[in-house]
């Protein structure tokens, strides 16, 4: 038999073998129509590579690449394949403290930007600033990584170094070499301003944020608070449950946010607050995202708060982790958020009621000043309302 015929027989055998195997899989999974064709194409190529590629193939590595390709084809910056090492790192980083540099990042239009820098963190000490664009991590361009990978590569063992190549508006690109440290995240803090105005900044929404917010809130009440400014600027979001707990202190009774999946199934989170205690002004900017937008949107839709600043980020989607059989996992987007009035946040963001730009060269925080001005008016209006006894 000629070499060509032998090659043809081998190839045909590989294809038939693949078809029989895939046929059984399709039957078991009740696949029909075009999906069967797609699975046959996939299995045929995989089998052909395994049997004919010039060197020995690691089938697990081949499958990892196929899964990664599927997730990347979604073109969703928040969906990612997590191979074993990356999955372990990801899970380690959800325990409340981790080795990192103390920044929050945003992923938009193909860019990785610093949303905010934690006070007294390694990043703050090194000189990183909000709105810095990260170009590379340890020499690897961020364009060669999926967005979520960037965060995982920046984090690492305490005491080790990471080098970020950064672009800052109006300056030449430069490298920052930063030593990782244990990052303990305090997410809510506040103080009393003049004229009975309370101020609480929420840096992100973690497991402890609601309790931290409530402690500050009650402390301000004890000091005689008459109105409240909630600062959500440079807040990348976080846990929806934490956001809803805070909403129960400031958003009137009713829906706070709805989570809707592809089938239209809706899960609604609500507030049980019977009475609004204080007039509220909320500060937002282009780096206010996800749970920050949920809280801001709920306060805006219910007329319980006036939003001041600039249009928010527009991250209104829900992700879940699906662990798999080789200590790996996929993280994918499964639903979108909607405000009480039915607005979708995703890709749109929230427009403030009063737009105020904060320019880098500004000598003072003009957004906060505007918030204070509006809150003073609200406090004065509330004080002038006629007394109406309950019946």
Q: Which residues are catalytic?
A: 290, 301, 315
Decide: 40 and 24 in contact? Cβ < 8 Å. Answer: no
Tokens at 73, concatenated: 């084809």
Helix (H, G, I), strand (E, B) or coil at 64: helix
In angstroms, rounded to a whole number, what is the distance separating the alpha carbons of residues 119 and 165? 21
Of 186, 299, 285, whose CA–CA distance to 233 is shortest? 285
DSSP class per residue in 254-267: EEEEEEEETT--EE
Q: Angle at CA 91, nearest 5°, toward 294 and 125?
A: 75
DSSP letter for 252, please.
B
Q: Which residues contact 207 (CB under 8 A, 6 or more apart)?
A: 96, 239, 242
In angstroms, rounded to a whole number, what is the distance separating the alpha carbons of residues 241 and 250? 15
Tokens at 344, concatenated: 């979708």
φ/ψ of 70, rounded to 5, equals -60, -45
Tokens at 191, concatenated: 């103080």
In angstroms, rounded to a whole number, what is the distance separating the alpha carbons of residues 166 and 164? 6
Question: H or E element: which one contains 330?
Answer: strand 329-338
Q: How many CA atoms lie within 13 A of 55 on its CB side?
A: 2
Helix (H, G, I), strand (E, B) or coil at 44: helix
Q: Which residues contact 220 (CB under 8 A, 6 or more apart)?
A: 190, 192, 198, 200, 228
Q: What is the dihedral of CA 350, 355, 356, 358, to 10 degrees?
A: 30
In angstroms, rounded to a whole number, what is the distance separating the alpha carbons of residues 189 and 226? 18
Question: H or E element: which one contains 280?
Answer: strand 280-284
């Amino acid at each position: 038999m000629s070499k060509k015929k032998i090659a043809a027989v081998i190839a045909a055998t590989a294809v038939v073998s693949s078809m029989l195997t895939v046929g059984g899989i399709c039957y078991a999974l009740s696949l029909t129509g075009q999906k069967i064709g797609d699975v046959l194409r996939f299995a045929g190529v995989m089998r052909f590579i395994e049997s004919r590629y010039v060197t020995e193939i690691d089938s697990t590595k081949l499958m990892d690449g196929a899964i990664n390709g599927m997730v990347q084809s979604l073109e969703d910056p928040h969906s990612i394949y997590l191979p074993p090492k990356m999955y372990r790192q990801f899970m380690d980083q959800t325990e409340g403290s981790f080795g990192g540099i103390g920044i929050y990042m945003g992923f938009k239009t193909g860019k990785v930007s610093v949303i905010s820098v934690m006070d007294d963190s390694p990043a703050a000490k090194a000189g990183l600033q909000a709105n810095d664009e990260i170009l590379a991590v340890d020499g690897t361009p961020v364009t060669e990584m999926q967005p979520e990978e960037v965060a995982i590569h920046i984090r690492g063992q305490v005491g080790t170094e990471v080098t970020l190549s950064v672009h800052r508006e109006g300056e030449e690109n430069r490298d920052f070499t930063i030593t990782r440290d244990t990052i303990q995240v305090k997410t809510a803090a506040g103080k009393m301003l003049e004229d009975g105005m309370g101020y609480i900044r929420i840096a992100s929404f973690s497991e402890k944020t609601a309790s931290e917010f409530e402690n500050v809130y009650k402390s301000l009440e004890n000091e005689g608070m008459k109105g409240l400014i909630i600062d959500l600027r440079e807040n990348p979001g976080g846990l929806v449950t934490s956001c809803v707990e805070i909403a129960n202190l400031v958003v009137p009774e009713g829906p706070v946010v709805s989570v809707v999946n592809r089938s239209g199934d809706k899960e609604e989170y609500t507030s049980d607050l019977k009475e609004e205690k204080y007039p509220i002004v909320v500060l937002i900017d282009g780096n206010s995202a996800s749970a920050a937008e949920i809280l801001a949107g709920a306060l805006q839709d219910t007329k319980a708060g006036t939003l001041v600043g600039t249009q928010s980020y527009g991250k209104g989607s829900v992700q879940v982790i699906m662990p798999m059989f080789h200590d790996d996992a996929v993280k994918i987007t499964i639903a979108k958020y909607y405000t009480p009035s039915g607005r979708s946040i995703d890709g749109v963001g929230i427009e403030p009621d009063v737009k105020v730009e904060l320019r880098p060269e500004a000598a003072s925080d003009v957004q906060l000043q505007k918030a204070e001005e509006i809150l003073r008016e609200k406090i004065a209006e509330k004080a002038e309302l006629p007394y109406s006894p309950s019946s």
